[in-house]
Structure 1
Amino acid sequence: MLLDTPICDFGWQAPDFTLKDPDGKPFTLSEQLGEKGLLVAFICNHCPYVQRIAERLAADTQLLMEEGINVLAIMSNDYRSYPADAPDKMRAFARQQGFSFPYLVDEDQSVGKAFGAVCTPDFFGFNRSGELQYRGRLDDARMGEASERVPELLNAMRLIAATGQGPKEQIASMGCSIKWSI
């Protein structure tokens, strides 16, 4: 089911969390919140929307990390019901796509629920104070060719890093619903 994300709730404070990657290494939001901000992306392996943007996501996040902006990705789907999203598959997907950011398992789905994550992909851009400043798309898909795309997320995170504030105009992300456990 195709869903759109809500409009950015400017200033919302992300709750701290600790999640592990598929190899068991823990990552804590407060430790990842850097001087230039943090991007948190809710993604999964099997979503066609994520698969469609994975290469651009890898490239754009690599640029952001080189500029000192931290990035975390979280998989909140119920992977017992959707085995394509299981931790061992996450590891393979991240390697295949060239992700250089931590890709974390939200085992009990508590982080996805606390963030109000709706779909995959769902992007949350925070300033260095942990205040939400962006909730929108990776890019403006209406532009057609990848060479002509407007890099919404990249531009937003660069603005947040420079000023602490995100763009006032944002285009909601859209994708597959997060698969909540029953």
Structure 2
Amino acid sequence: MAATPPVCEFDWPAPDFRLPATDGNTYSRDDIAGPKGLLVVFICNHCPYVKAVIDRIVRDAHELQELGVGVCAICANDAAAYPDDSFEKMALFAAEYELPFPYLHDESQAVARAYGAVCTPDFFGFNADLGLQYRGRLDASGARPGAEDLRRELYEAMAQVADTGRGPAEQTPSMGCSIKWKAA
């Protein structure tokens, strides 16, 4: 089921976390944050929205890291109900797409709840002071492969954040599959 997150709450502080990654390491928020900001992306392995844009997420992550923005992805889906999102399958996904950033497992879903994650993909772009500056979409493609000339909204916003510390006033929310929450 498609879900849309709320608009950006400027300067909302990035919650801390400490999560295991598919590379065998454990990372905190501060381990990942770069000198110019932090991009936290909630994704999962099976979502058609993520599959349609993962190549562009990887491209933008490479370029943002060059600008001093740290990047990570987090999978918080209930792997018992969605076995394609298991930690083992996350490692395969990370290798297949050559993710240039840590792919973290939020098994308890506490980090996703702390961030208020709604969908996959859900983008949280923070400045160097770890204040939220972007909660928009990657681009206008949705669950389809996008045209080569599609405006790179996430990249442009985070490049602006890296340069000025502030995100754009106008942001279009992301859209994707809902986070698969564990039964209460």
TM-score, shorter chain, exceeding 0.5: yes
CA distance in 1, matches of 2:88, 2:181: 19
Per the TM alignment, residue 70 of structure 1 is displaced from its structure 2 partner at its CA by 0.6
CA contact 1:55–1:98 (8 Å) conserved in 2: no
List structure 1 runs of 4+ shifted beyond 4 angstroms. Answer: none
Corresponding pairs, count: 181
Q: Does 1:181 align with 2:177?
A: no
Q: Which amino acid aligns with 1:121?
A: P
Identity of aligned residues (%): 51
CA distance in 2, matches of 1:44, 1:52: 12
Q: Aligned-residue CA RMSD in angstroms?
A: 1.3
Gapped regions of structure 1 (runs ≥ 5): none
SS at match of 2:55: helix
Q: Which amino acid aligns with 2:29?
A: L
CA distance in 2, matches of 1:79, 1:46: 11
Q: Does 1:92 align with 2:112?
A: no
TM-score (structure 1 length as normaliser): 0.95
TM-score (structure 2 length as normaliser): 0.94
Per the TM alignment, residue 30 of structure 1 is displaced from its structure 2 partner at its CA by 2.1
Compare the two structures and name the one with the higher helix fraction: 1
CA contact 1:45–1:84 (8 Å) conserved in 2: yes
* Cross-structure match for 2:51: 51
Per the TM alignment, residue 145 of structure 1 is displaced from its structure 2 partner at its CA by 5.0
CA distance in 1, matches of 2:102, 2:146: 29
Q: Does 1:64 align with 2:64?
A: yes
* Cross-structure match for 1:18: 18
* Cross-structure match for 1:163: 164
Q: Which amino acid aligns with 1:165?
A: R
Q: Which amino acid aligns with 2:70?
A: N
CA distance in 1, matches of 2:57, 2:34: 20
Gapped regions of structure 2 (runs ≥ 5): none
